[in-house]
Amino acid sequence: MANSTKYIRELIGENEIEQAINQLLEHLNSSAEHDLTDSAVLQKSRWAEYKRKNVSGLAKNEDLDGIRDALLKIVREFDNRASKAHTVQQQQYTPPRQQDVPPPPPPPQKNYVAQCFFNGDPNTYYVTPNNQIVVVNPMSNFPVVVATRTASLNPAFAWIYQFPNGFYYSIDHNGAIWGVNAFGMPVQMGYVQYL
């Protein structure tokens, strides 16, 4: 495992961020490190946003440095956990007694009002009744908040898909998700399906 994470570190150092993220997600998806997988997915979305900003000339070096630092921290934590697991495996294993195992957590409420689909994005985003937009981690089946649904001041749009950093998409009354390309022209980014 150390060789594969060394390769990921080299990719980050060579500014091959997209390849590093893909390699990291490939390793994490085959492990039980759900929190690290969530963190890597978040960095993938930050990378996609950075690329969009870079096309329009709005990207900042601090954003890229933040992504690199976060990826290196994830790789470092992954290595630490792998070395601890290796040490634990070398010790004698005693199976837990039935009363030592806590019951599994209850499944999350799937009380959603809409689904958002984006072109080229395999994830499905859900809108909750309290206007949070979440993506459900397929490994842990728990939702992660990525944006909020806010009212639109423009009557041509039904609502706004608002990210915490101020970036947003506009959703029209037919459910089309609209963004702006590098030339300032509107582009349909996906669609909303109401439940």
Examine the pLDDT at 162 and tell me if it is beyond 90: yes
Examine the pLDDT at 42 and tell me if it is beyond 60: yes
Q: How much is the pLDDT for 138?
A: 74
Instruction: List the end-to-end C-alpha distance of the chain, in Å, as a whole number.
Output: 43
Q: How much is the pLDDT for 100?
A: 59
Under a CB-based contact definition with an 8 Å cutoff, are residues 149 and 127 in contact?
A: yes
Please give the angle made by the CA atoms of 12, 140 and 108, to the nearest 5 degrees: 135
Q: How much is the pLDDT for 40?
A: 86
The mean pLDDT of the chain is 83
Among residues 6, 69, 1, the alpha carbon closest in space to that of 61 is found at 69
Among residues 18, 25, 73, 27, the alpha carbon closest in space to that of 49 is found at 18
Q: What is the pLDDT of residues 70-122, one digit of tens each?
A: 888 888 888 887 777 666 555 666 666 666 566 665 555 568 899 999 998 88
Cβ-based neighbour number of residue 127 at 10 Å = 23
Q: How much is the pLDDT for 133?
A: 93
- Residue 31's φ and ψ, nearest 5 degrees, are -115, 180
